[in-house]
Structure 1
Amino acid sequence: MTAASKPFREKVLPSTNSSWRFWRYEGTSIPFNWHYHPEYEITLTLNSHGHRYVGDCIEQYEELDLVFVGPNLPHTWCSHHSLDGQTQPVYVAQIPASWLESMTDTMPEFEGVRHLLALSKRGVKFSYGKAKEVLNIFDSMHTADPMKRFIGLMEVLKCMLEEENPVTLSSSSFSFTLKNDIANDKIEKVIQYIHDHYTENLTADQLADVAHMSTNHFHRFIKQRTEQTFTELVNQLRVGKACSLLINSDLPISTISDLSGFNNTSNFNRRFLQFKKCTPSQFRKAFSGKMSRKAAYAV
C-alpha cells in the first residue's frame, strides 16, 4: 500500500432473507483489495498468512486471524499463494451500522457491545483462542437458516466481548475522509437495473452499457465492488426472488424457476443449491414445517 492508494467503497448485499451478510470466500490466495463500507465487519481467515491492512496499521498475520472492523475504516488482507493448491477460506459477517447500533441504544443486554463498537473504529484483533471459538460458530452458521445464523452472530459478539485483551490496530490519529464516489452511483444503478429486469436474459455487455464502461472493465468493476462475479450477483438476486415465491405461493417449482429469471429448472436447482445449500423443494418443505409448528403452538 502506498500513500497514493485510494480505498474504494464496497457495495454490501445482504444474504438471502437476511438483514445482514454472511458468507465464506475460498481461493488459493487473498488479493489486495483496499476498500471500505458503512457496515461493521467481522473477518476470520483460515489456512493463510500474509499482511493485514487496517487504517494505517500494516501487520503480518498468520493462521486464524480474527478482526472486527468498524464502519468506513479502510482495510484488506493480502496473502501468499498456496503452493500446494489448498484453498484459503475466509469467513465474513457484515452488519449494517444502524441495525447494530440501534440494539445497543434500546436493549440493555447490548450495553457491553457499545464499547466493542467504539474499539472497532480502529479495528480490533482477537486472540488465537477466541478465533478458534468463533471458527466453531462460523462453521455451524455456514449451512444454517437465517434465524440460526442470527443466533450465531449473537454468540460471536458475546465471544468477542469476553476477550480479556483485545488489541486495537489503527492509530488513534488515523482519519479517513469520505468523498463522493462516482463509481458507487454506478454500482447502485447496475443493481437497480438487475432488480428491474431480473426475469430477462441479462448479459455483461448490456449492463456494461448501463454503467458506461467496457465489458472487460465492467467485469473487474463488479468483482472489486461486490466480491462476486457478474453471474454470481445476478443469480444471488434471482435466488432471493425465488425464496420469496417458494414461501409465499404454492406455484410449481418449474414455474418459480421461470418467474425468477432462470432459463431452465436444472440450472435453477444448481444455482439454488449453490446459494442456499439445499434444493428449492427442500427449502419450501423446511419453511412449511416451521410455519406448521408455529401454528400448532398458537392453538
Structure 2
Amino acid sequence: MSSLPGNVGGRPDSGSLEVIVPDGGTAIRWTSHGYPNSLAKWHYHPQIEIHLIREGSGQFMAGDGLMSFEAGHVALIGSNLPHNWISDIRPGERLAHRDVLCHVRPQTIRMLSSVFPETAGFEQVLRRALHAVVLSGESARQAADLLVAMGEHDEDRRVADLIAILSIFEHASPDESRTLVTPEYNPMVAVGAEDGINAAISYISKHLDEVSLQDAADAASMSPSTFSRFFKRVAGIGFADFVRRLRIGRACRLLSCTDMPVARIQRMSGYSNASNFNRRFLEETGLTPSAYRKNYSPR
C-alpha cells in the first residue's frame, strides 16, 4: 500500500491521498501496523475504513471533529473523509501493534445490497460513515474481535467478517454509536492542506511541552495569523484548543500509567503554572489531577 498526493475522480486534494491497492482478486484490504508509521498521518482515500486501535491513547481527528481515544477504539471512516490518529508517546517510543484496519470501496457494499436486500441497511451505515462513526461498549468489543480475526482468515471468510462488522455498526444502540464530524462539514475546505497540516501536527506532537503558535506556524511555513486561520478551518478546532487537548491527554496517560509526581507531569504536559494546569485539567476532564489518578490508576 502506497501514499501520494493526487486527485480521485476529478476531486481535488483534501488531505493526503492514500492509494490503496487490494491483493489480486479481492475487494477487501486488511492490514495492521505500528506507530509511528508513514501511513499514520492526516489523509483520505475513496475506500471506507474500519479501524481498531489496539494500544496507546491520544486524539482522533476526522473532518472537523476531535475526540480522545484509547485501546479498544473502533471507528468507521467514510469515503474521502480526512482522518488521523495521534498517539501520545515518549521520544523514541514505538507502539508495535497499534493499528488494525480494513478497506473496501463503498460501491462494493452497494453492489452487495443490490443482490442481498437483507443488507439494505448498510446504505445508512455508509451515509453515517461520512461523519465518522465511533463505537463503544459491547459493540466496539464485538467489532474489534471480528476485525482482528479477519487477519487470520481466508479471503472468502473475510467477506463474512465484513458483513458481520457492518451489521454491528447498523444495529449498535445509540449509546454505543456516535458520529464525530458535524453535519455542516465540507471536505473541500481542506483543499491543498495536506503538507501544512501534517507538518504542523508532527511538530506539535514532538514539542508538546513547549510548542508555541509561532513554532507551529514556522513548521507549516506560514505566518502565525495565516496559520491560525488555516488550522481552525482545516482541523475544525483552534490551535490553542488543539494543543490543550493533546497536553491534557498526555497528563491523563501519565497520571493513570505512572507514579510520577503531579508537579512533574504538569511540567511534562507543557504547564509551568500549577493553578493553570489544574484549571485546564478540570475543564477538560471534570476532575482534578489527583482525583483522576485515584479514579483511573490500576488497582
Please report the TM-score for the alignment, with normalisation by the length of structure 1. Answer: 0.54
Q: Which residue of 1 aligns with 2:255?
A: none
2:18 alignment partner in structure 1: 10
Structure 1: which 5+ residue stretches go unaligned? Answer: 184-299
Q: Report SS of the residue matched to 1:78.
A: strand
Q: What percent of counterpart residues are identical?
A: 20
Structure-2 separation of matches of 1:144 and 1:121: 28
The answer to whether the aligner puts 1:113 opposite 2:122 as a matched pair is yes
Given that 1:52 and 1:78 are in contact with CA atoms closer than 8 Å, whether structure 2 keeps it comes out as: yes
| Structure 2: tracts of 5 or more residues without a match | 1-12, 195-299
1:158 corresponds to 2:171 = no
Q: Pairwise mapping of residues 24-103 of structure 1 onto structure 2 (< 5 A)?
A: 24-27=32-35, 33-81=41-89, 86-103=95-112
Question: In structure 1, what is the Cα distance between the partners aligned to 2:98 and 2:180?
Answer: 22
Q: Equivalent residue for 2:182?
A: 171
What do the CA deviations read for 1:6-40 (whole angstroms, capped 9, x no partner)?
A: 61111011134411211111236797511111111
Which moved further from structure 2: 14-23 or 27-36? 27-36
Structure 2 Cα separation of the partners of residues 156 and 142 of structure 1 = 14
- Contact conserved, 1:41 with 1:68, CA < 8 A, in 2? yes
Contact kept, 8 Å, 1:15 with 1:22, in 2: the verdict is: no
Question: Contact (CA 8 Å) 2:34, 2:94: kept in 1 or not?
Answer: no
Pair 82,104 (structure 1): closer, same or farther in 2 beyond 3 Å: farther
Secondary structure, aligned partner of 1:23: strand
1:103 Cα deviation (Å)?
Answer: 2.2
In structure 2, the residue matched to 1:128 is 137
1:64 Cα shift? 0.9
Secondary structure of 2:61's aligned partner: strand
Structure 1 residue 49: Cα displacement: 0.6
SS of the residue 1:94 aligns to: strand
Equivalent-residue separation in structure 2 for 1:76 and 1:140 (angstroms): 24
3-state SS in 1 of match to 2:168: helix
Deviations 1:204-263 (CA, angstroms, capped at 9, x unpaired): xxxxxxxxxxxxxxxxxxxxxxxxxxxxxxxxxxxxxxxxxxxxxxxxxxxxxxxxxxxx
Please provide the CA RMSD for this pair: 2.8
In structure 2, relative to structure 1, the CA distance for the partners of 1:13 and 1:30 (3 Å cut) is closer
Aligned length: 178
Q: TM-score, normalised by structure 2?
A: 0.54
